[in-house]
Amino acid sequence: MNQHFPRHIHSIIPPHILSSIAERGSSEQRLRALRALAFDQSVRAARASNPGLMRLIPNQQCEDTPGTTPTPHRSIYDAQQSTDLPGKLVRGEQQPANKDVAVNEAYDGLGWTFNLFQKCYNRNSIDNKGLPLNASVHYSKQYDNAFWDGERMVFGDGDKDQFNRFTIAIEVIGHELTHGVTDNEANLNYEGQPGALNESISDVFGSLVKQFSLQQTADQADWLIGKGLFTSKVHGKALRSMKAPGTAYDDPILGKDPQPATMDGYVDSEDDNGGVHINSGIPNHAFYLAATAIGGFAWEKAGRVWYETLRDSSLKPTSKFSDFANLTVKQAEKLYGTNSPEQQAIQKAWETVKVFKAKVTHPPTRMPIETSSVPETTPEETQEEHPHESDAAD
């Protein structure tokens, strides 16, 4: 095996958390955070210098028998605390559970993600062509992250000080694999608003994977991303909250969750590719609002709209929040009808997070016109209302 340098990476722990630990933590905590940051930044630099690396890495396809329902093809490897990937094969498709909990969690997480996309959206794996799903656990020593590198999922064990093992949260697995779906369908630029959309789409389907696995309705779900990753020493419940962005954690070392829930809090930053892990809170909250307003299982209607929007040819690599929002409204109309409850819920959600300007209707102001005399002042003309779309971050 050779030293593996990922050609494409999306990490679940945002750099602002690692930076905060590096600034405020103990010497050991700072060392771990700096090591994780250095790895992440080196790969981000490689990706920025070669945008073509954003695309899904080709892999051997697994053909299903024509006429049969596609099934997952999973392989779980043990990196054995090294950075050589993939590591030793320890569990293949349809093999029994392993004694290693991380192996089984990875296997199950890959399976539930495959099942969500296949059963709900008729998608055959990440590339819709039966791409095998590979994962490596026990990557490096006390590695505080998990990532998708375009070929496989890679999980660190955490340091057991601030972070638990990274297979513990099924929505993290769904989140990372969805980056592969997004890159394959829309290839959204990983910076600014397109990058925040990229992160948000992964959070949306990561949460739907968890809800689907638990058969939870929208009102039963916790809408948390990364629940269980923090140890009991950390003052926080998850990395992000789609229900209430900005409330997931507030810790002396990790800092306070900086995610905004509306465009009023949009962050202009040169860090983290333009704040992609921060501003994703805005479209995250829009999905939560739409899904809970529609009700029922979130993957059935709101999730369907988001999935079809992701596949819409009008969604471009440079699309911003307002572009994506407009497409979701159009997809809702196409799927459920003009002024349907689903379309209205999605429209209202984007208005609430202020990506759209809320429609405000006023009765026309009319002044009486006297025919017998000419008034000294001419009434101002009533201003015509304009469409609701806005892009406050332009």
Q: From CA 93, how far away is CA 134, in angstroms rounded?
A: 10
Residue 4 has pLDDT above 50, yes or no: no
Greater pLDDT, 35 or 60: 35
Peptide bond before residue 86 is cis, with ω within 30 degrees of 0: yes
Q: Which of 105, 151, 176, 351 is catalytic?
A: 176
Q: From CA 72, how far away is CA 94, in angstroms rounded?
A: 10
Greater pLDDT, 372 or 276: 276
| Residue-level pLDDT at 38 | 86
Q: From CA 247, how far away is CA 221, in angstroms rounded?
A: 16
Q: Please give the sequence-ordered ranges of beta strands (E in DSSP) within 129-229, or none if there are none.
A: 133-137, 146-148, 153-155, 224-225
Structure tokens at 324: 């994506």
Residue 126 has pLDDT above 60, yes or no: yes
Q: From CA 288, how far away is CA 292, in angstroms rounded?
A: 6
Q: From CA 317, how far away is CA 323, in angstroms rounded?
A: 11
Greater pLDDT, 359 or 370: 359
pLDDT digits (tens, 9 = 90+) for 64-122: 445 678 999 999 999 999 999 999 999 999 999 999 999 999 999 999 999 999 999 99
Q: Which of 8, 73, 175, 277 is catalytic?
A: 277
Can 4 be counted among the known catalytic residues?
no
Average per-residue pLDDT in the chain? Answer: 87
pLDDT digits (tens, 9 = 90+) for 229-247: 999 999 999 999 999 999 9
Q: φ and ψ at 20, to 5 degrees? A: -65, -40
Domain layout of the chain by residue ranges: 10-352
Q: Cα–Cα distances in Å, from 60 out to 63, 74, 86, 127, 240?
A: 10, 13, 15, 12, 35
Residue 48 has pLDDT above 70, yes or no: no
Q: From CA 62, how far away is CA 59, in angstroms rounded?
A: 9
Per DSSP, the three-state class of 308 is helix
Can 277 be counted among the known catalytic residues?
yes
Structure tokens at 90: 């320890």
Q: What is the pTM of this model?
A: 0.86
| Residue-level pLDDT at 42 | 60
Structure tokens at 191: 């910076």
Residue 384 has pLDDT above 70, yes or no: no
| Residue-level pLDDT at 370 | 46
| Residue-level pLDDT at 371 | 42
Nearest to 227 by CA among 204, 199, 207, 212: 207
Fold for the domain defined by 10-352: Neutral Protease; domain 2 (1.10.390)
Angle between helices 302-311 and 321-336 (to 10 degrees): 120
